[in-house]
Amino acid sequence: MKALVWHGKEDIRCDTVTDPEIQDPRDAIIKVTSCAICGSDLHLFHNFIPGMMPGDIMGHETMGEVVEVGSGIDGKLKKGDRIVVPFTIICGECDQCKRGNFSVCETTNRKRHLADKVFGHTTAGLFGYTHLTGGYPGGQAEYLRVPYADATHIKVPAGIPDEQLLFLSDIFPTGWQAAVQCDIEPTDTVAIWGCGPVGQMAIRSAILLGANQVIAIDCLPERLSMAEAGGATTINFETESVLERLKELTDGKGPEKCIDCVGMESHVMASLPDTLLDRAKQMVMAESDRPHVLREMIYVCRPGGVISVAGVYSGLSDMLPMGAFMNKGLTMRTGQTHVNRWTDDLLRRIEEGEIDPSFVITHTVPLEQGPEMYQVFRDKRDSCVKVVLRP
C-alpha cells in the first residue's frame, strides 16, 4: 500500500509499504477513506519531538471502513462498519479509561518503558506519533491497523460526508476539551492563542459553550478571517499589541479564560525577544519548547482565571513566570485529548446541524501529494488552513 513515511527532518515521502496485518485478536484493519495533516504532525516534520525513526508512518486523523477484524473483537465492530479512529489508542478497561482519562490509558503504549522514563508515567499509545507513545504506524496510508479496535473507534452513520466526521478523530474534540476545561460562564471572555485548525475548533466550542466574548489571536489574515467568521474578535499579534488590545477588550481586567492552541513552536519575531532566545536555546538543545504563549497567557489572564493548554509541549520550557501564576491564583489544565469522552456528544451536534467542522478544510488532495502538502501547510502558503488527504 501507499503511505506517508517519515525519513528525517523535513523529509516525508510517499512510499510503498507492506500492508498491515492483524497482530492481535483485538485488532481491526480499516481501508482509509480520508485522513488529514495536523499541526502536531508539523512538530514531527521539524523533528522537534524526540522519538521518531526513519520508516515510521505518519498520521493520526483517520477514518475509513472496517475490512478485517480480529477474533477478539466480540461483535463490537464488524466488516463494513464505517468508523472514525481517535488518535489516542484506548483499552477501555484500565483505571484511567474507566474514568474517561483516555489519553493517559495505562495499557496501550507498547513502548511504555520509554514513556515511564521520560514522563514519569506512561500515557496512551498514539497513532503515527513517536516511539515514546508506542511507535504505532499512522493513518496517512491506504490501510491502517487499529489496535484495541473494540474500544478504539467512533462508529459513524452513513449519509454524512467524510469531511464532516473526520475531525472527530482529533481537532474537534481537542478544541472542545480545551474550551470545556475552562468551565466557561456566560459572562466570560475567552482568549484563544493560535487560529490554526485547533484554534478554529476551540473558537466554535467556546461559542457553543456560551462564552460572552471570544477573542482570537494569530498573525495570518486568512486564519483571522476564519476566526471572525466563527464569532471571534481578532488580534493580529504582528501588527497590534496583544497586551493592550486584550486590556481594551476586557475593560482592563484581562480575559477570565485563556486557551493555548499554538504549542511549542510559537512564532519567532525580533519584536518578541524571548522567542529569539528560546529559538537559540532550542538549537543548542538547552530548551525543547518555545513557551511564549504560556508566558503571555499567565501575564494577561485575569486573577483567579483558567489557562487551558491544547498546544503540544514536548519537554522543558524555561522562564515561566511562576510568581504571577501562583500569586494570581491561576489554574492550568492541559492534556492530549480524551477523544472518546466527547465524541458521542459532538457526533450528535454534527448530526443535528449545530456545527459542521468541514468549514476548516482548505485543501483536499490525493495521498501521493501529501509530502508537498506538508510543506504548503507548514509555510502557510496558498492560504492553507487544513489539508485532507484521500488515499
Partner 1 sequence: MFHFSNFVRTEGDPKIVEGGPSLKRPADQLARALGWFSIGLGLVEFLAPRRVTETLGMEGHETMVRAFGVREILAGIMSLSVDKNAGLWARVGGDGLDAAALLSGLTPDNPKKGNIALALLMVGGIAMLDYRAAQDTKPRRPPRDARRKLYPNRSGFPKGIENARTAAKQIAAHPKA
Ligand X SMILES: NC(=O)c1ccc[n+]([C@@H]2O[C@H](COP(=O)([O-])OP(=O)(O)OC[C@H]3O[C@@H](n4cnc5c(N)ncnc54)[C@H](O)[C@@H]3O)[C@@H](O)[C@H]2O)c1
Residues forming contacts to ligand X in the complex (CB under 6 A) are 38-40, 42-43, 170-171, 174, 193-199, 217-220, 223, 237, 261-263, 266-267, 292-293, 310-312, 336-337
Choose between 85 and 298: whose C-beta lies nearer to Zn ion: 85
The amino acid that residue 25 corresponds to is P
Given the rule CB under 8 A, which residues bind partner 1? 1-3, 5, 7, 9-21, 23, 46, 53-55, 57, 110, 135, 137, 141, 186, 200, 204, 207-210, 220-222, 225-226, 228-231, 238, 279, 283-284, 353-357, 359-360, 362, 371-372, 375, 379-383, 385
User: How far apart are CB 271 and Zn ion at their closest, in Å?
Assistant: 30
Long-range contacts of 288-291 (CB under 8 A, 24+ apart): 288/48, 288/264, 288/313, 288/314, 288/315, 288/316, 288/317, 289/263, 289/264, 289/313, 289/314, 289/315, 289/316, 289/317, 290/264, 290/265, 290/266, 291/264, 291/266, 291/317, 291/318, 291/319, 291/320
User: How far apart are CB 370 and ligand X at their closest, in Å?
Assistant: 16
d(CA 62, CA 20): 15
Contact window for Zn ion (CB under 5 A) among 13-21, 90-98, 223-231, 295-303: 90-98
- When binding is defined by CB under 5 A, the residue of 62, 107, 164, 308 that contacts Zn ion is 107
Grid coordinates of 374: 506538508
Q: Output the CA–CA distances (angstroms, integers) from residue 184 to 164, 191, 307, 341, in the order listed.
A: 25, 11, 12, 18
Choose between 331 and 383: whose C-beta lies nearer to partner 1: 383
Q: What string of DSSP letters covers 290-336?
A: B-HHHHHHHHHSPTT-EEEE-S---S------HHHHHHTT-EEEE-S
Closest CA to 361 of 14, 37, 31: 37
Choose between 100 and 221: whose C-beta lies nearer to partner 1: 221
Partner whose binding site includes residue 226, from partner 1, ligand X, Zn ion, none (CB under 5 to 8 Å by kind): partner 1
The amino acid that residue 391 corresponds to is P
Contact window for Zn ion (CB under 5 A) among 170-178, 199-207, 277-285, 370-378: 170-178
- When binding is defined by CB under 5 A, the residue of 27, 56, 142, 170 that contacts Zn ion is 170
The number of residues in the chain equals: 391
Partner whose binding site includes residue 121, from partner 1, ligand X, Zn ion, none (CB under 5 to 8 Å by kind): none
User: How far apart are CB 306 and partner 1 at their closest, in Å?
Assistant: 17
Where on the chain is the footprint of Zn ion (CB under 5 A)?
38, 40, 91, 94, 97, 105, 107, 170
